[in-house]
Amino acid sequence: MSSRSDRSLYRSRSGWIFGVCQGLADYAQISVFWVRALIILGALFSSFIPVLIIYIMAAIFMRPAPVLPTSDAGEWEIYNSYSDDRGRAIASLRRRFDNIDRRTRRIETIVTDREYDWERRLRTGA
């Protein structure tokens, strides 16, 4: 049984040109040979320009496959939320780093406080 991330439509990172055919083959669970053959036959019978335009549009609008495979639905959801809206992803990362920075500053303030130093010395007897 395939997980949800395996059945999502992504451009493959291991494809020949943009990974569109490989991504379609992975999604449909068929051999990439047949997808490429259909694309070539479509180009031969309809002229190359419409098929080329459709292929380029697919390459633009299909998201690239995750670099690391997702192991559960939570990871899949995080990947999709970041790949859907990069502005929102950057804002989320900025909030996380600001939170980490704020917590680090608070810890530094406590550790470098003069009261902290004296209390540590009294506890250790130094």
How far is it, in rounded angstroms, from Cα 11 to Cα 60?
9
pTM (global) more than 0.75: no
Single-letter residue type at 78: I
Region 89-117: mean pLDDT is 84
The listed range with the strongest mean pLDDT (11-25, 81-95, 111-125) is 11-25
Residues β-bridged to residue 64: 11
Secondary-structure breakdown of the chain: helix, strand, coil percentages, each rounded to the nearest 5: 70, 0, 30
For residue 106, give both structure tokens: 């608070």
Region 16-37: mean pLDDT is 86
